Amino acid sequence: MAASLAIHREPRHAEVVRLLERAALPTSDLTDEDMRDFFYVGPANAPIGIVGVQLYGADALLRSLVVTQEHRAHGLGRALVERAEQHAREGGASKIYLLTTTAESFFRSRDYVPTSRDGAPLAIRSTPEFAGLCPASSAFLSKQL
């Protein structure tokens, strides 16, 4: 299924918020401008998967990966993460970070490794996700790009 669906850039803000809220993920810090660095699969008015990346020079933060329940296990999450990683590399990032409460094994199977929060770059530590939107119990992972 993943091969048959194109990955598009710049989803509609309202659709991203809808998907994230259904998955109980944070939305309060997202703006229309942030959508430039988000990707989606499915129709523009009803995406079935999304992912975002925020660029901070040599570092990037992967955020907001969601695939609707009925479309999981078809490679969409993997394809979206690969596209976000490519975007981060193209934007000059050499390392990507993320916080997760539910998908640690998914990301670890994609070469993300547990990382000390104390060693996080200042730009990543300063993000709303790191500073408080994501619980302190979230796994903090990183990957060399």
Could you read off the pLDDT tens digit of each residue along the chain, which spans 145 residues?
A: 444 579 999 999 999 999 999 988 888 888 899 999 999 999 999 999 999 999 999 999 999 899 998 888 888 999 999 999 999 999 999 999 999 888 899 999 999 999 998 889 999 988 887 776 565 668 899 999 9
Q: How far apart are CA 117 and CA 73, in angstroms?
A: 30
Is the four-CA dihedral 128, 75, 70, 13 of positive or negative sign? positive
- pTM given for the model: 0.90
Q: How far apart are CA 102 and CA 141, in angstroms?
A: 12
What domains appear along the chain, each with residue ranges and CATH number? 2-144 (3.40.630.30)
CB count within 10 Å of CB 19 equals 23
